[in-house]
Structure 1
Amino acid sequence: MNDIRKVPFGAGAEWLLGGIALLRKAPLALGLLGLIWGGLSALATASGQLWLSLLLALAGPLLFGGIVYAAREVDQGRSATPAHLIQGVRDGKLPRLLAMLLPQVAALLLMGLLMVVIVGPDELQHLNQALLQMQTNPDPALVESLPAGRLMLWLLAVVVVGVVTGFFTFVAIPEVMFTDRGAFAAMALSFRACLRNVGALLVMIVLLLIATFALSLALQLLGALLAFAIGAQASMFVVQLLLMAMLLPVMAGAVYLAWRQLVGDAPVVASSAHGFEA
């Protein structure tokens, strides 16, 4: 359980395909978990209450850990239930799951510092003034005056920081859910596993982005059709729920399978059932 395995680049595609296969194996059960999370997110946003959105963000590692747990249940031939969303609480692992937020907090602080360093205080003040003026006067000259080069450099830095931050939690959440390892030890293990398998991880990220774009486009087309029947706002709500219902279980399944193959109970090999052997 302590060894970090090296996998080929193609493993990233296998993780994603395995996550899709797990959703196909139990579409209603796993989809319901994503639907519940998506519904809570939509309600928090619609309420306009900042504390609700903050509370849901804090619960993110717990909820994702619950879907990862449910993915393993499905993979091992058992049923997924809504109660799995709070499996971390039932197993006494909530503090360790909440610790997974620390890399994200550190990343946000680092992004803010990088903005000041890369863009500069004077340019930030100019950017703020230009954005305020564009709300009442959409003059193209205001856009041309923005420090586009520095902003692009900062965005590139944000992407790098975001990916590296994800290294700390990629397989740390399933490691906490399925073992007795502490939060910081799990995050250190996850970071080392990702560094050793950057290629596979990047393949999965790229394919996940492509799949998300394609799924979003398909659902947007569905939403356009639904808008004639139930209205634009209601159709947007339905599209968002469907996206979460499909995307979250696939991501959780992919992370679970990646954990199994990189640091988990056994190397995972291909099978005709769903791309991985249980």
Structure 2
Amino acid sequence: VELEFVVLLNVKMGWPGVTNNPLTIFPNIAYIAFPILPYELFMWLPIVLAYYAEKPTEKITLPRLITFITYFGGIYGGLVHYVALLSVLSGIPHLDEDHGICTALPPPTDGPWCELLTMHILLAVPMGTYFLYVMYVEKKKYGWLSWEGDNEKVAFFFRAGLVFTTLGISGELPYFGQFAKVGGDTFDGTGVYAGTTWADWYEGRGYIEFISYMSWLLCGLYFLAKAAYHKKAAHMVSGMDSCSEKNAAGDVNM
């Protein structure tokens, strides 16, 4: 018989609870942390980054933007979603609202929410792990919170594109599943992270998270297109420089 610990701070459906499975601590951490993610600010984040990538200032430079998106990808995409992954593992082999991550982040309406929320996590974690590795490598090379590489625009747009496209499309997956099942009634529910949440202000605000992830997805695709454009431009410049050097060498030989 599993030992259940009753949490006194019980709001609405209550906390996920802790059993003799040590991993069940992680849905409780998710229950506390995820409802207070500032999605109202998150939806504007890639737009602000896109603006300053084109119009950097003395303080907001491209190297600083590269550092920011790298650490954001590693910390939010990696460390934060490690908690979510451990929450998923706490409920294995079940993927439903009574086990794992969905005890903390339950379906806002009827649909395949839990399965697709798990898919979101499984896509976010490898991306976040990649950026944690990049943080480690560049910390050894440049120091903490620093970047001094080449092709600034290619580096920024590629990293921003990878972060926002991955989190955007995977974050929308649970919503797409809800839409397929209940259509527009998806937003009649409590909203993401609100079914058992202590954060009352998130009640009924599923559209906020949906718009935020859509902003990330669309801006992520834009960033990847810009990365490809700047990489091609850099390649063309490099090719022209190479031709100029060869022509100059030919003139000398003549």
More helix by share: 1
TM-score (norm 2): 0.30
TM-score (norm 1): 0.28
Higher relative contact order (CA 8 A, sep 6+): 1
